[in-house]
Amino acid sequence: MGIKRLPAGLKIFIFTASLIIFFFCLQWLGPLSYEHSHFWEAAAGLFGDTDLEGFIMMSLGLLNLLLAAIAYRIIVRKIEKRMNRTG
């Protein structure tokens, strides 16, 4: 008996769902406070970027992709382990 794998469509759905969930979780609901703006200005200054809004969107987008990829790997691994469990 071979190792059972998840179908590609289900894997794509898991990645897309985790991407959407992390996108909504990373967006803040109110205006930018002074502490947040100071943090983002300092972070953008480290990279020499002057466009604060673009830097925030780019960094949140990259963080979103990274978290979604990690969640995807964990979820797929857990499901495949459960599918291949004997007994």
Quick check: pTM over 0.85? no
- Sorted by where each begins, the domain ranges of the chain are 31-87
Q: What percent of the chain has pLDDT over 90?
A: 51
Report CA-CA distances (Å) from 12 to 4, 6, 81: 17, 10, 18
Task: Look at residue 1 in the predicted model and tell me its pLDDT.
Answer: 64
User: What is the average pLDDT across 61-66?
Assistant: 93
> Which one has a higher pLDDT value, 26 or 18?
18
CA-nearest of 56, 72, 59 to 21 is 72
Q: Is the pLDDT of residue 14 over 90?
A: yes
Task: Look at residue 38 in the predicted model and tell me its pLDDT.
Answer: 87
Core vs surface per residue 33-53: b (16+ CB within 10 A) or e: eeeeeeebeeebeeeeeeeee
